[in-house]
Amino acid sequence: MIVEILLQIIKIIAIFAVVMGCVAYLTLMERKCLGFFQIRLGPNRVGPWGLLQPVADGIKLFFKEDMTVLHANKFYFILAPVISLVAVLFCFAVVPFAGNVYIIDIPVAVLYLMAISSMGVYGVLLAGWSSNNKYSAMGGYRATAQMISYEIPLALAIVGVLILSRSMSIVDIVNAQKGMWNIVKQPLGFIIYLVCTFAETNRCPFDLYECENELVAGYQTEYSSMKFALFYMGEYAHIFLASCLITLFYLGGWNGPVLPALLWFFMKVFFCAFCFIWVRATYPRFRYDQLMNLSWKVMLPLAFLNLIVTAIIVVMF
């Protein structure tokens, strides 16, 4: 009993360390890739090829002055960044990295993911409200409307995958893709999922709740030091989680020839993460009404169409 609990704790710490390590180096990867896309070098001063840059950033953020604005609601001001990081980290409990590398494989894993990731909205909304600042509040409102709108087509797109694999356990979903990846069977679902993920993770072209030319920095305007760093970590952890989920749901997870499973998984995940950065470097931002129209008038009907066609084909053949 005690040995089992200890083993589980060691697993949790190991996966946590891997996730946080990946999150730290995603920031470096983003800056390096942006440098490449904009024909400049990117960070290259700290350590060889700038490899120690995330460490330096972390130390810098720790020693910044931690300010709380006078009119802020202190309790929610501190709670908000905690919620937005914790809601993402909780999701990694059911994310398998390979056939036997996971913390737990529950039969309702996909539902768990939807439940926990929907709590992330509170972080943004409370941060916007408690800062007591009009730009923060605007950012918070936009974030909530956007996240709720895009959660629906996102969930409907996943249901297509669930119908094909007849299970809600992520390990089963990946095993069902042994012969053919879901991206081949569900091309429309994949596109819907990808677009909605960009909106959920607050990435360009959908980064409307912190668009700097209208809202300063949106909900995180008043945050500094480690509280800001928590938001930042939460955002990159969310990108990492989204890359993992795209890989698991549509790109065959750890399935692949010759190379070991873990290597395949991380290659696919970092390819997805690269796509996130690629899109950021390439596309301009949407206008807010365009964003809402896209969700309710394009994504939602397409997601329903995808779901109905998938269900009919699975039942008929």
Using CB under 8 A, list all residues that contact another protein.
Answer: 73, 76, 106-108, 111-112, 114-116, 118-119, 121-122, 125, 129, 137, 140-141, 144-145, 148, 151, 168
Q: How far apart are CA 187 and CA 37, in angstroms?
A: 28
In the numeric block, which tokens belong to residue 234? 């939460």
Q: What is the DSSP letter of 62?
A: H
Closest approach of another protein to the CB of residue 195, in Å: 20
Pick between residue 79 and residue 262 the one whose CB is nearest to another protein: 79
Q: How far apart are CA 205 and CA 280, in angstroms?
A: 7
In the numeric block, which tokens belong to residue 49? 């090829």
> Is the bond preceding 54 in cis, omega lying within 30 degrees of 0?
no
Pick between residue 219 and residue 266 the one whose CB is nearest to another protein: 219
Closest approach of another protein to the CB of residue 124, in Å: 10
Phi, psi of 98 (to 5 degrees): -160, 180
Pick between residue 122 and residue 278 the one whose CB is nearest to another protein: 122
CB 92 within 8 A of CB 53: no
The DSSP bridge partners found for residue 26 are none
In the numeric block, which tokens belong to residue 288? 């807010």
Pick between residue 98 and residue 163 the one whose CB is nearest to another protein: 163
Closest approach of another protein to the CB of residue 179, in Å: 23
Pick between residue 85 and residue 116 the one whose CB is nearest to another protein: 116
Closest approach of another protein to the CB of residue 301, in Å: 14
Buried/exposed code over 35-60 (b: 16+ C-beta within 10 A; e: otherwise): beeeeeebbeeeeeebeebbeebeee
Closest approach of another protein to the CB of residue 73, in Å: 8
Closest approach of another protein to the CB of residue 54, in Å: 32
Q: Which residue has the tokens 């700290």?
A: 46
In the numeric block, which tokens belong to residue 197? 């993920």
Q: How many helices (H) and strands (E) does the chain have?
A: 14, 0
Pick between residue 249 and residue 265 the one whose CB is nearest to another protein: 249
Closest approach of another protein to the CB of residue 72, in Å: 13
Pick between residue 34 and residue 159 the one whose CB is nearest to another protein: 159
Q: How far apart are CA 143 and CA 202, in angstroms?
A: 8
